[in-house]
Chains A and B, each alone.
Chain A
Amino acid sequence: MQHDLILRIAAKLLIPMIMLYALYVQFHGDYGPGGGFQAGVIFAVSIFLYALVFGLPAAMRVFSPTLVQALAAAGVLLYAGVGVVSMISGGNFLDYGALNPGDRALGEHIGVLLIELGVGITVAAVMIMLFYLFASPIDADDSGGH
């Protein structure tokens, strides 16, 4: 696709906007439609576009498979970590109010924000990983249908 000038320019314009929109969906999820899962998918879509237009190796230089695996685990760790911290603070698992005993409403706000961030990171990483697996060329020795 090295001659598709219009597609390349459009992709370069769109990719940052999609990433910004993913962050908007992520952090505006409390007040409007959105949340961690949707934001993760939208963020992953910007990487898909990059891989489609500039090739999978270019995308893998930005988000290497090792980094993607680490991020997928880190999101779950953040999610479970918030739950454990609230348990240590005296509440139940994922009882965000216990995070800030002085002002429970603020604690719940912080807790939901962190949980959604963990969900977003994990969903984005897993989606990117799935795309890498689907988009990578099939090995010659992998005896498929043909």
Chain B
Amino acid sequence: MALLVATTLALVACMVMILARALLGPTVYDRVMAVNTFGTTTVMMIAMVGYLMGRPEFLDIAIAYALINFIGTVAVLKFFEVGILGADSSSPSEPSAREKPVE
């Protein structure tokens, strides 16, 4: 039990540092990286809290989070790269969209 609590506290410390990087991050890629890592730590956090509270079925939620966390990152990166989420992959990405300033 003490080991579980110690691991959870360590995860909380990691999450605080990742949040700091997400807020401070000079470029947008730092922020995207921080959000992705935050999602990964959240998956571990859900699993740890599940075992701490004696409800191992939290693992189901952790798996769903792990599968979906990846897609948010892909969507944000594609938005900054192409500008349109549904851009066709077979045609080369329009260079004009890349130059466009993204707010």
A binds B: yes
Which chain A residue lies CB-closest to B56? A32
Known contacts A7-B74, A21-B67, A45-B68; A136/B60 CB under 8 A:
no
Q: A17-B67, A18-B67 are in contact. Are A52 and B75 (CB under 8 A)?
A: yes
Contact of B85 among A38, A57, A58, A135 (CB under 8 A): A135
- Smallest Cβ distance from B67 to chain A, in angstroms? 5
* Contact residues in B for A81 (Cβ distance below 8 Å): none
Q: Which of B58, B74, B86 contacts A137 (CB 8 A)?
A: B86
8 Å CB interface, A21-75 against B: 21, 25, 28, 32-34, 38, 42, 45, 48-49, 51-59
- A49 vs B81: C-alpha distance in the bound complex, in angstroms? 16
Q: How many residues of B contact A (CB 8 A)?
A: 24
| A25 touching B86, Cβ below 8 Å | no
> Taking CB as reference atom, which chain A residue is nearest B89?
A55
Q: Which residues of A contact B93 (CB under 8 A)?
A: 1
- Is B70 in the interface zone, CB < 8 Å from A? yes
Q: Does B61 contact A (CB under 8 A)?
A: yes
The total of interchain contacts (Cβ-Cβ below 8 angstroms) comes to 75
Residues in A122-146 with C-beta less than 8 Å from chain B: 131-132, 134-137
Q: Are A25 and B74 in contact (CB under 8 A)?
A: no
Contacting pair B81 A1 (CB below 8 A): yes
A38 to B65, CA, bound (A): 12
On whether the beta carbons of B92 and A2 are closer than 8 Å, the reply is yes
Of chain A, the residue at the smallest CB distance from B55 is A33
Q: Mark B61-97, 1 if CB is under 8 A from A, else 0.
A: 1011001101100110010011011111110110000
Query: Nearest chain-A residue to B93 (Cβ)?
Result: A1
Is A106 part of the contact surface with B, judged by Cβ < 8 Å?
A: no
Q: How far is the CB of B99 from chain A (nearest CB, A)?
A: 14
4 closest A-B pairs (Cβ-Cβ)?
A56-B86, A135-B86, A55-B88, A135-B85
Residues of A within 8 A of B (CB): 1-2, 7, 10-11, 14, 17-18, 21, 25, 28, 32-34, 38, 42, 45, 48-49, 51-59, 131-132, 134-137
A-B residue pairs in contact (CB < 8 Å), sample of 11: A1-B82, A10-B70, A21-B67, A32-B57, A33-B60, A38-B64, A42-B68, A51-B86, A55-B90, A57-B88, A132-B86
